């Protein structure tokens, strides 16, 4: 088994999700693991899917994200993990 192809997302005070590296958004990854996050537009506009990134790296799937985020906040619907993550929802 090649462990480099697997990532985890640790959600503070909830659970840790292990999954195969994917281009899916973090929101889809969480939902496919029965963890539901408030959301609406699913395209980076409304800001409802905001989470705090405590460690790790992400990459936004689109270049233009409209939803407001402050430092260390990410929009789960519009980014993917590029490393193991620790987040707070």
Would you tell me which residues interact with ligand FES (CB under 6 A)? 39-42, 44-49, 67, 75, 77
The 10 Å Cβ neighbour count of residue 85 is 23
Nearer to ligand FES, 7 or 78 (CB): 78
Residue 74 C-beta: closest distance to ligand FES, Å: 10
CB nearer ligand FES, residue 12 or residue 66 = 66
Smallest distance from ligand FES to CB 4, Å: 29
Residue 43 and residue 78 in contact, taking contact as beta carbons nearer than 8 Å = yes
Calculate ∠ Cα 74-80-85, nearest 5°.
70
Nearer to ligand FES, 53 or 77 (CB): 77
């Amino acid at each position: 088994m090649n462990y480099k192809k697997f990532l985890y997302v640790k959600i503070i005070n909830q659970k840790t999700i292990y999954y195969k590296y994917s281009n899916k958004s973090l929101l889809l990854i969480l939902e496919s693991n029965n963890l539901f996050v408030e959301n609406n537009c699913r395209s980076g506009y409304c800001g409802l899917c905001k989470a705090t990134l405590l460690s790790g790296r992400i990459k936004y799937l689109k270049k233009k994200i409209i939803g407001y985020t402050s430092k260390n906040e990410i929009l789960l619907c519009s980014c993917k993990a590029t490393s193991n993550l620790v987040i707070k929802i």
